Amino acid sequence: MSDAGAVLVINSGSSSLKFGLYGEQGGQETVRFKGSATRIGSEQGRLVVKDGAGKQVRAVDVRHPSQEDAFREAVRHLEELGGARPQAIGHRVVHGGPHLRQHQALTPEVMKALEDATHFAPLHIPPALRLIRATQQHYPGVPQFVCFDTAFHATLPQVASTLPLPASVREQGVQRYGFHGLSYESIVARLEPQVPARTVVAHLGNGASLVALERGRAVDTSMGFTPTGGIPSGTRTGDLDPGVMLFLMRTRQMDADALETLVNHEAGLRGLSEGTSDMQALTRDAAAGNAAAALAVDIFTRSVAKTVGAYAAVLGGLDLFVFTGGIGENSARVRQGVCAMLGHLGIHLDAQRNDSGTEVITTDASPCPVRVLPSDEEAQLARHTRRLLRG
């Protein structure tokens, strides 16, 4: 069955795959089905599908050896549930390198540019390419589009995007790109048309970053050349003295692959706690007296607060602070720890509101409100895909 209004969006992560089938009603994207495949590559995979009302209509334990396997399984269930054959497909791609900074149609030339940009994101681009090819095989002839997490940050001024390196290095495309762009776009869309002049958004999840927004446009962001930079996250170091890398190369003879594994998979909250990157588990363990877990939580919250302070300086003040992402939306402990350091910026937390999970968690008298807003990358993907399809 085909449907002129159906748009399929695919949002792949390191070990998960989110997907959604969207229609359009009254000029707004509406969910028909939405789901996720988790623990890809492990023996305990799971696939969940919900309908447009948020009711769970499928939940199966199934092993997904790869993103492509998870995609094929997801599509099978969508088709069984009566999901229409899409008119267009949109892919989230983390990084497109220096030459792909706009959401656009997927053409052979774009595929070639993505292949050429592999060295900018060797952990992300190859699996994205494999997933795109699997989608093309399953839906031959259906127009496909790519949306880049770096695109939102193309508005960064030169003073923010330029890294302090010689011109010969910068000419290779080494610069601050910024990530989580689709998440930030979805927050701006949620705030419109009343986007404050000076806003900071913290996307806090297993990957974590912040962005400074001037009337909804990115003017600075914490992640840099890769998603490894910025504040510490689940398994990534965040910003690190380059001398540490040189030290490890010289004393442990670590090569590029070993260092890549260390800074992307063994560091961050997991490395600090020597166990887990799960914030819920860390806060529970910290409350029970686990010193390593407490230190991990404190380093994380301090890093977020320090970045908010820096961005208040960039923006000349702060009109709104937003938490989003899995940790930002669900961890009252992290929100409390961050806001406790920001009273000088006019942020006065209401403990009861914070604990109950209301949207506004500051007092009515707080000069700078703090809001907790859910990110919706899939809806943003659907908006861009439909816009691009219509030209």
User: What are the tens digits of pLDDT across the range 128-173?
Assistant: 999 999 999 999 999 999 999 999 999 999 999 999 999 999 999 9
- Look up residue 193 and give its DSSP letter: T
Quick: pLDDT tens for 53-92: 999 999 999 999 999 999 999 999 999 998 888 999 999 9
What percentage of the chain carries pLDDT values higher than 70? 99
User: What is the pLDDT at residue 44?
Assistant: 87
Instruction: Measure the CA–CA gap between 265 and 234, rounded to whole angstroms.
Output: 8
Instruction: Measure the CA–CA gap between 82 and 79, rounded to whole angstroms.
Output: 5
CB 156 within 8 A of CB 143: no
What angle is formed at CA 238 by the lines to CA 233 and CA 244, rounded to 5 degrees? 135
Quick: pLDDT tens for 82-107: 888 899 999 999 999 999 999 999 99
Average pLDDT across the chain, whole number: 95
Does 122 have pLDDT greater than 90? no
Least confident range of 5-14, 193-202, 261-270, 368-377: 5-14
Q: Which domains does the chain have, with CATH numbers?
A: 7-148 (3.30.420.40), 193-372 (3.30.420.40)
Q: Which helix (H) or strand (E) holds 282?
A: helix 279-287
Instruction: Measure the CA–CA gap between 337 and 225, rounded to whole angstroms.
Output: 28
Confidence of residue 41 (pLDDT cuts 50, 70, 90): confident
Q: Can you list the pairs that 162-165 forms with residues at least 24 positions away whose Cβ atoms lie under 8 Å?
A: 163/224, 163/225
List active site positions.
Answer: 149
